[in-house]
Chain A
Amino acid sequence: MRKIFLRALLAIAVAAVIILPSCAQPDTQSQNSTDSTLTFSWSQDVGPLNPHMYNPSQMFAQDLIYEPLVSYDRGGEIQPALAESWEVSPDGKLITFQLREGVQFSDGTPFDATAAKANFDQILQNRAEHDWLGLIEAIDRVEVQGDRTLQIYLKTPYYPALQELTLIRPVRFLSPKAFPDSGTTAEGIKAPIGTGPWVLADYQKDAQAVFKRNENYWGNKPAIEQVTVKIIPDAETRALAFENNEIDLIYGNGEISLDSFQQLRDSGNYTAEVSPPLNTRAIAINSNRGATADLKVRQAIQHSVNKDAIVSAIFYDTEQKADTYFSTEVPYADIGLQPYAYDLDQAKALLDEAGWQQPAGQEIRQKDGQPLTLDLSFSGENNVDKAIAEAVQADLRAVGVDVRLLGEEEQSWLDRQANGEFNLIFNDTWGPPYEPQAMVSSMRAPSHADYAAQQGLPMKAEIDRKIGEVLLTTDETSRQQLYRDILTTLHEQAVYLPISYSTNVAVMHKELSGFEFMPQANQVPLSKLSKS
């Protein structure tokens, strides 16, 4: 009796093991077998893809569909895009664009001056949302002259206007037919219809988004017909899917772990690339709180952190060590600042001078009976920052500074950036094309860590005045001088501890060709890729 029962059970189990996998067998057609389609993967859903709004839309996907008036080339050069040419008036308060002829939105609506103005009007009705961007603040009104001429009137001269028009958001152009029936685009759009090289063809939230080549595109059409973006939140799963030939390309920063990147690169089976430096991973040092209010302590911190070790142990040398808050690639930032050398003796001497003495037999320095303890805040979800934080903690302990790691929920970390409750806090720069102008401009806004960090500087008012001036001046020489002053002061006051210049990494199968990195950090180079 028992035996029969046992056999029956075994039979059921065996049947289940055989049948179940075949139920789940995927249809192999969906895999990337054809030459004209490409499968890419991203960690987050692409979002509603409203060109005039921010998260949860993903910037790379907005960039596939929508185009700017002018585009940003490496080193800050401005190139024609939807505008063929432009002219800035001598007083800097009027920019006149000649729009490209024969451009259509992917729904067939012509892109002309009226359509462009309609988009500006939508954005300008929602100024508070774009408060962080000086350009929107500066625009007074937008006017149309005939079919092809668009005039942007500014309240004050604003030299970075062209740079900020290249941004992926918010000034890109949606077909007026996709505007909502009532209200502005801030409340939502009917469909993501742009002029760009790609058209959204299918969208399944949190599963995938399919982009088809825009067959009526005015510029160079992509070589690939279709790109499928698979949403895979987990980096290790993405690496497995790549090795399993289910995706063609991995691209981005943090989209795969650097362990996986190194392993895929070293296998020799794939093409692996590291981009030029993008933004700066940095820690802001609060000049308005506790021990870090003292310049000597801030300088000592600069001398104590072994960035070479961090770059090699955490980034496997895929990133370069950063000596200055802005890399020398950034416009106006190549001004020959003297790096703070890794020098423990100098750090100790500075701390001694600042009155933080090391009592015999104790590890942590003291002043007036108080130990030298600093709070270092980071988002607990960010594993890279956590690893850097641990390295900084160990380095500072070597000179007698106790670092308390505050790895908190992301919103708490952002709270600290805004309210200044930190000694040290992770605060990365924004990369091209935001640097230096938008980043510097934000240093005046109280909700930014930069503002909190600089708050204790005796010359903060002067820094802010110069920032205001540098954005307004129409004279190139005085602009260079002002940037030199601002960046030199911030460097000398040691309010930022730059760690490394972050990069994008790319891994792709060898049959892909035409790969090149894009000038903006948040663009993914899909349009030039082809498959052999």
Chain B
Amino acid sequence: MKLTDHYISRRILQLIPVLLGISIVTFLLIQLMPSDPAAVVLRVANTPATPEAIAAMREKLGLDRPLPVQYFDWLWHVLRLDFGQSFVTGKPVLQEVMHYVPTTLILTACATLLIFAIGLPMGIVAALYRDTVFDQISRLFAYIGVAMPSFWLGFLLIYVFSFKLGWVSVIHQGRSPIGSCRHLP
């Protein structure tokens, strides 16, 4: 018991530098973007990007500060779950992300269910009957699944199950159970 405790906490502790590393790399990757974010924000808002407007926007966004300062400022806010405001919608980024969470969770849950229903039994059977025809088929199935680009596989699945077989609607998702719909007066 103690051992697993120890193991889990060690793994969680190891996660911290990994996450920090990822955040730094992500932050630096954004710097590689050829466009000036200030100019992009102005463009999205349809405001003419004069040099003065760009300078003012850089100051407003804090882009005129040194990179490490920008990074730690961002990190400090992120640690308190404050991801700032979306430039496109003007709403908090967290709220924008949360909007997609229910659907993402449903998709993940369905995928997990399919893994348990199909993947796991197939894997066990394939292992029990190694090098039989079933093993070969399941291996082929797995290879194809990995090798095929997901957008193409997704389209094919829609084509087969929705269009050809008519089991599910092509576009209908169903109302998500968690309040993602906003009713208007």
Contact = CB atoms under 8 A, between A and B. Distances in A.
Interface of A: 2, 5-6, 9-10, 12-13, 16-17, 20-21, 24-27, 30-31, 41, 48, 54-56, 107, 128-132, 187-188, 191-192, 200-207, 230, 232, 234, 236-237, 240-241, 243-244, 246-247, 408-409, 411-412, 414-415, 418, 445, 447
B48 A447 contact: yes
24 contacts: A12-B121, A16-B118, A26-B168, A30-B172, A31-B169, A107-B185, A129-B45, A130-B46, A132-B48, A191-B184, A192-B184, A201-B184, A202-B183, A203-B182, A206-B99, A237-B171, A240-B159, A241-B170, A244-B166, A246-B170, A246-B171, A418-B39, A418-B49, A447-B48
Interface in B42-94: 43-49, 88-90
B78 to A, nearest CB: 24
A204 B46 contact: no
Contacts of A412: 34-35
B141 interface: no
Interface residues of B, number: 49
Prevailing SS type, chain A contact patch: mixed
B58 to A, nearest CB: 15
Contacts of B168: 21, 24-26
B167 interface: yes
Nearest to B51: A446
Contacts of B88: 55-56
A205 B34 contact: no
Given A31-B169, A131-B48, A243 B117 contact: no
Contacts of B122: 13
B174 A26 contact: yes
Q: Which 5 A-B pairs have the closest CB atoms?
A: A16-B117, A9-B121, A241-B170, A26-B169, A411-B35
B163 interface: yes
Contacts of A241: 170-171
B180 interface: yes
A408 B172 contact: no
Contact of A9 (B33, B124, B181): B124
A408 B159 contact: no
Contacts of B49: 418, 447
Interface in B95-126: 99-100, 113-114, 117-118, 121-122, 124-125
B167 A21 contact: yes
A5 to B, nearest CB: 8
A24 B124 contact: no
Given A202-B181, A412-B34, A246 B169 contact: yes
Contacts of B90: 187-188
B128 A2 contact: yes
A48 B182 CA distance: 12
B173 A207 contact: yes
Given A9-B124, A128-B48, A244 B163 contact: yes
A247 B182 CA distance: 23
